Amino acid sequence: MNKTVYRNVLSEAGISPREIEKRVGSCFDAIFYGPDKFYFEAGSDMAYIEDTGNLDVRTEGMSYGMMMCVQMDKKAEFDRLWKWAVTYMYMDEGENSGYFAWSVSPDGNPNAHGPAPDGEEYFAMALFFAAHRWGDGAGIYNYSGWARAILRACLHKEDGGRGRNMWDRDNHLIRFIPEADFTDPSYHLPHFYDQFALLADPEDRPFWAQAAAASRDYLQLACHPVTGLSAEYAEFDGSPCTRLRERFGRHDWHYSDAYRTVANIAMDYCWFGEARGETWQAEIAEKVRRFFLETAAENPRGIYAVDGTFLPGAALHPTAITATLAESAIASPEPLSGRALRCVREFWDTPLRTGNRRYYDNCLYLFALLALGGQYRIY
């Protein structure tokens, strides 16, 4: 299933092609090569993306960086990131063999010996796109071979008791971590799973098709029926996860991870939902925009429970909220108008974040920019 025409929401907002091209290029350059960059080259052929707020290298950021590069046709940077990930993050022994350590120090020493599934799903999708855009090479640059191997590990670790799968094979939902019996709504990427259903090992393709359907059903449960907000961590029935605060801290609120959920829902609509005549993605996106623009207008970058209850404190990643609200506009009715237009204009007038928390916000900023400009594509 491929798509040939991608909506350009920025153009609908009155922004010229030249301005869009300039902004996308300058954003990539700022992240990868500017004075506030968080892409760092290591040696002659490797590089890493640093989480500037936590001073580590995460599979989240490495896989995000690879997706940015394949979308923007930056093969050299892609290959540098991928080699660093394989060299320092890939685990080839123990119960987590076949997975990537989710946190590693910039010098290559692991901070953890377990994975975070959002990294694996982004690695696999970026690698498949790289294979289609640039062709497979040898060794670690056999992109599609590595993508299939990653997905194989995600589904078959429990065969013979060799660890835990990243997806629950019974309910087809992604786990927060392999040993968890709950999930993170922002990990759910049904638009990726549709691609995996075409590209993974043939015997696993039916599972991925079921996973796409299960995640679409799940996201409708996990997003509050009035506000559209999701929690960071949630039970498999969609309710916020409150039972594990002693281990993980509080994550039953709409906070950092959760900002991605509406952007992912909008991307699902962009790639596949519109063609199927679906409306739920647009409905959730509009609820979230209405909440932040109207219900939470006095404190739009605060912390909220999923039902909209105001909680003490301020958002750790305010620019990420601005970016994902804007990205949600790709699931709005055409032509662009109303709250969706307001969010896009606010985003366009918002600069990249500076300071030590710039990594997460600016990753979501570039993804939003690509999506809104019709440049976040299936390859």
Q: List, by residue number, the catalytic residues.
A: 60, 257
Select from 304, 316, 317, 302 the least CA-distant residue to 352.
317
Q: Are 331 and 272 in contact (CB under 8 A)?
A: no
Burial class (CB in 10 A: 0-12, 13-18, 19+), 122: buried
In sequence order, the β-bridge partners of residue 39 are 49
Q: Report whether the peptide linkage leading into residue 335 is cis, meaning its omega lies within 30 degrees of zero.
A: yes
Q: How far is CA 144 from CA 87, 134, 153, 164, 316, in A?
A: 18, 11, 14, 23, 36
**Residue 29: how many other CB atoms lie within 10 Å:** 11
Q: For residues 218 and 11, what is the distance between their CA atoms, to the nearest angstrom? A: 33
**Residue 1: how many other CB atoms lie within 10 Å:** 11
The dihedral sign for the CA sequence 352, 358, 364, 366 = positive
Beta pairing class for 46-49 and 103-104: unpaired
User: What would the two tokens of residue 143 be?
Assistant: 């992109």
In sequence order, the β-bridge partners of residue 48 are 40
User: What would the two tokens of residue 50 be?
Assistant: 């640093």
